[in-house]
Structure 1
Amino acid sequence: MEVVILGGRRQIGKLAADAIEELLRRKPDAVLGLATGSSPLPVYDELAERNSRGLDFSRATAFTLDEYVGLPAGHPESYREVIRREFTDRVNIAPEKVHGPDGSAGDIPAACQAYEDAIAAAGGVDLQLLGVGTDGHIAFNEPGSSFASRTRIKSLIEQTRRDNARFFKSLAEVPHHVLTQGLGTLMEARHVILIATGAQKAQAVREFVEGPVSAICPASILQFHPHATVLLDEAAASALKLADFYRHTYDNKPAWQGL
């Protein structure tokens, strides 16, 4: 796990976009894993700007992490709509190449298996963007999730519902269930970039970066990932014991290593 501490969200967005641009130029038909929430927004802004200058997404495929169960088609807070609004409508990726789990399916287990099959058929995810919740969840793998889990239905804990209530008119409107890629699914991505900003994420960052690998902190499984990059601002890194070491390591890494 590489931990990179930067000055702010704009620098984080640029560095993550650098990795995605390098991937697309090397592999134009790359498979991207897209996250929602506030963490990846600077990345999407940067990529949209680069697309306007010639960065090509026309051969790329994308898979989203998760979806609420029970929201009607076209609901502005469904993750399919959020991804469309925040990113995919802003670049030249084909709409039919952007996939998300079907939270309105009549047969939820079959829909989850179909999503797993679609990721596998595409060759797996080359680069997965992630955020992290204040309780250490990634995607919607809440504390206690199995490290072997695949795409499935999950109940949201109340902390997550409260965290997400800002996107709805009230807490009562936040669904109780989601479909989410599992931890086992996420660990198969060839490169994972997790972004965390703000002091409210500092405790979760300390626990998943420097704490024990434990189901109570789902993001801690990334300690076992062969190519995981954690991009933090100073506030999110404020509780790390080895912050100075991470800064020194990044400042002195060989240029050929990339991200």
Structure 2
Amino acid sequence: MNVRILENAKVLGQEAAEFCAQELRRLIKTKGKARLVLSTGASQFETLESLVTMDIDWSRVEMFHLDEYVNLPYVHPASFRKYLTERFLDQLPIPLGEAHFVNGEGDLETNIATLTREIRKAPIDLALIGIGENAHIAFNDPPADFDTQEAYIVVNLDDKCKKQQVGEGWFDTLDDVPTQAITMTVHQILQSAMIVSCVPHKVKAHAIRDLFMNDVTNQIPATILKNHPSFTLFIDENSASEVDRELIGHLNS
């Protein structure tokens, strides 16, 4: 695990974007293309804002994303398809090579089968995986399913996850948050050749503390990332505030 602590969310976003851009440029140069997974949410604002400005041949990048609410229309402000279209695709200087969205509307079984077929055509090169306030990765809330070999599954959202969505302003009340989502599984996330997690802000401090202070457990889903051979964690002074710096240094490899 490689840990980088930055001053604040803006600097974190800039550093993480440059780190990812270097890897994407390397992949495009050596392989001719790159397969990318993006996450969403308020913690990813600064990273995506910087990433779209990077000098990358986006026409050679194929994008997937992590999750989407079940039965939430694309036009809803909380739709992750809408989020990535407006904050990523529409901001690129040239069109993206290909984009595969998680669609939580219509026939979910067919939607999942289509996504699974596409994502398993070749390995994912780089995955930006956020960490939630309850330490979830994608919508794999605790206790996360570490055993399924599926690529995407339908999950029930726990109350802490729903409260995060309200706290970030995506929904007005807890009752407005959908009860289910389609999510990329833990197994599929771990198939990525490189994982980068951008986790700024004080509200994530407890989750980051739990990540560092616990062994791998599905009660703290993000702990599984520590087992990945190429995992880089970007945190800021706020999200790192509950962790002993000596412990971070000990685990930093």
TM-score, structure 1 normalization: 0.87
Give the 5 Å matches for 1:47-86: 47-50=51-54, 54-86=55-87
User: Deviation at 1:56?
Assistant: 2.1
Task: Please name the residue that 1:146 is paired with.
Answer: 145
User: Deviation at 1:239?
Assistant: 1.8
With over 3 angstroms needed to count, the CA separation of the structure-2 counterparts of 1:98 and 1:92, relative to structure 1, is: farther
Aligned mates of 2:86, 2:8 — CA distance in 1: 24
Aligned residues: 245
With over 3 angstroms needed to count, the CA separation of the structure-2 counterparts of 1:91 and 1:141, relative to structure 1, is: same
User: Deviation at 1:232?
Assistant: 0.6
Letter in 1 for 2:216: V
Task: Please name the residue that 1:216 is paired with.
Answer: 219
Task: Please name the residue that 1:157 is paired with.
Answer: 158
With over 3 angstroms needed to count, the CA separation of the structure-2 counterparts of 1:216 and 1:59, relative to structure 1, is: same
Aligned mates of 2:198, 2:221 — CA distance in 1: 15
Moved more, 78-87 or 204-213: 204-213
Question: Structure 1, residues 18-46: CA drift from partner, whole Å, max 9, x if none?
Answer: 22211222222111111100122111111
Task: Please name the residue that 1:44 is paired with.
Answer: 48
Task: Please name the residue that 2:98 is paired with.
Answer: 97
With over 3 angstroms needed to count, the CA separation of the structure-2 counterparts of 1:127 and 1:93, relative to structure 1, is: farther
Aligned mates of 2:130, 2:191 — CA distance in 1: 17
What is the RMSD of the two structures over their aligned residues, measured on CA atoms? Answer: 2.0
User: Deviation at 1:74?
Assistant: 3.0
Q: Describe the SS at the equivalent of 2:58.
A: coil
User: Deviation at 1:249?
Assistant: 9.0
With over 3 angstroms needed to count, the CA separation of the structure-2 counterparts of 1:16 and 1:60, relative to structure 1, is: same
Aligned mates of 1:217, 1:245 — CA distance in 2: 18
Question: Structure 1, residues 53-97: CA drift from partner, whole Å, max 9, x if none?
Answer: x43211101001001100124333211111111111101464671
Aligned mates of 1:9, 1:226 — CA distance in 2: 25
Which of 153, 166, 191 aligns to 1:188? It is 191
With over 3 angstroms needed to count, the CA separation of the structure-2 counterparts of 1:26 and 1:176, relative to structure 1, is: same
1:33 aligns with 2:37: yes
Whether the 8 Å CA contact 1:5–1:247 is kept in 2: the answer is no
User: Deviation at 1:194?
Assistant: 0.9
Letter in 2 for 1:11: V
Whether the 8 Å CA contact 2:67–2:139 is kept in 1: the answer is yes
With over 3 angstroms needed to count, the CA separation of the structure-2 counterparts of 1:109 and 1:145, relative to structure 1, is: farther
Whether the 8 Å CA contact 1:58–1:92 is kept in 2: the answer is no
Q: Describe the SS at the equivalent of 1:58.
A: helix
Task: Please name the residue that 1:113 is paired with.
Answer: 113
Aligned mates of 2:123, 2:215 — CA distance in 1: 28
Identity across matched positions, percent: 30
Aligned mates of 1:152, 1:81 — CA distance in 2: 21
User: Deviation at 1:246?
Assistant: 4.0
Whether the 8 Å CA contact 2:135–2:211 is kept in 1: the answer is yes
Give the 5 Å matches for 1:165-180: 165=166, 166-180=169-183
Task: Please name the residue that 2:7 is paired with.
Answer: 7
Letter in 1 for 2:113: Q
Letter in 2 for 1:176: T
